[in-house]
Amino acid sequence: MNDRTGERIGWMAGWIGGFIWVAILFVVFIYQKKFVAGLCGLLLTVASIIAIFSLAPWRHPSTPYWKLMLTPYGIFFVSIAWAIWTFGGLESVGVNWWNLL
């Protein structure tokens, strides 16, 4: 029987490590009394934990990895948008759409 220990460690540590900044920021925002931003961060953290555990590859051994990774990546990109929004948008740090060129 294959217990897939390395896969479990990689999946869990990788995704949790990728989302730890969201949990840290939501705690910081709650401390700063920015409750809307903090609660949005809490929701994103909870959604990421649910996605990490429920879409684990060992729970769905016949599903391709790319399908399992769609939801966590989606939450990750929403988290990036949330962080940009909570810090005042791209313009607040001097970045605008012309920088893409």
> pTM for the complete prediction?
0.85
SS (H, E, C) 66-77: HHHHHHHHHHHH
* pLDDT for position 2: 64
Give the model confidence (pLDDT) of 14-68 as tens digits. Answer: 999 999 999 999 999 999 999 999 999 999 999 999 999 999 999 998 999 999 9
pLDDT in tens, 1-17: 467 788 889 999 999 99
Q: Residue 54's pLDDT is what?
A: 95
The full set of domain ranges for the chain reads: 4-99
Q: Are 72 and 55 in contact (CB under 8 A)?
A: yes
